Copies of this chain bind each other. A is one copy, B any other.
Amino acid sequence: MSKILIIEDEVAIADLEKDYLELSGFEVVMEHDGEKGLARALDGEFDLVVLDLMLPGMDGFEVCKRIREKKDIPILMVSAKKDDIDKIHGLGLGADDYMTKPFSPSELVARVKAHMARYNRLVNTNQKNNDIVEIRGIRIDKTARRVYVEGEEKNFTTKEFDLLTFLAENPNHVFTKEELFREIWDMDSVGDIATVTVHIKKIREKIESNSNKPQYIETIWGVGYRFKI
């Protein structure tokens, strides 16, 4: 269940937002001033913050900035004035979205859902099931030793599977061919590094739709390879 924090001093508005969000299945908590809101947000239990700009205590700009210093959760800013929106842009506070009042509650719900979906898409990748490694269109079932590309199973040989899995489990990390060789082949096995290259090529044939522009395994010239998040 996703939890949403509403920081909004006008109780009537906050209540309305709360009702709609709860109807859509979210758990909602409200705070009515800046300081408390900030403290709550930093608590870390929320998945998204709806933040009004006009607040007693600490204003929305400040709250946004302070949340962003510590947290990466989506922040949806709400303001009565169109000018404030420009200010939000200008300050580069790291707000993810903004709406001007008045807005329809369904608009709010829609935006909240969109952000949630996006956040989950990007973040949920490598936490839950340890046996499943999933990044974008690639799903690797480690126990079953199966690989699915866009939902379709592809056959991988042992070395190909091990290599792909290692890269996918350490995404965004550049490994040299030597490192990969030591990792997948026996530490002290004597062999040619070139075999790594060939295996990369074979893997690419199976997972990349266009080998010239690899979407998963990138080449870092002069260094090695990297699985792109």
The answer to whether B127 and A113 have CB atoms under 8 Å apart is no
A197 in contact (CB, < 8 A)? no
- A123: contacting residue among B137, B159, B221, B229, CB under 8 A: B229
Interface size class of A (residues with CB under 8 A): 35 or more
Q: Chain B nearest CB: distance from A157 CB in Å? A: 7
Contacts of A1 in B (CB 8 A): none
Interface string of A111-142 (1 = CB under 8 A from B): 00110011101110111001000001100010
Contacts of A193 in B (CB 8 A): none
Number of copies: 2
Q: List 23 A-B contacts (CB under 8 A).
A: A42-B209, A44-B210, A44-B213, A44-B215, A71-B136, A72-B121, A72-B122, A74-B118, A86-B106, A89-B106, A89-B113, A89-B114, A94-B121, A97-B114, A126-B172, A127-B172, A143-B174, A144-B172, A144-B226, A145-B220, A145-B226, A146-B172, A157-B221
* Residues of A in contact with B (beta carbons under 8 Å apart): 42-45, 69-72, 74, 85-86, 89, 92, 94-97, 106, 110, 113-114, 117-119, 121-123, 125-127, 130, 136-137, 141, 143-146, 150, 157-159, 171-174, 209-210, 213, 215, 220-223, 226, 229
Closest 3 CB pairs of A and B: A158-B222, A89-B110, A122-B122
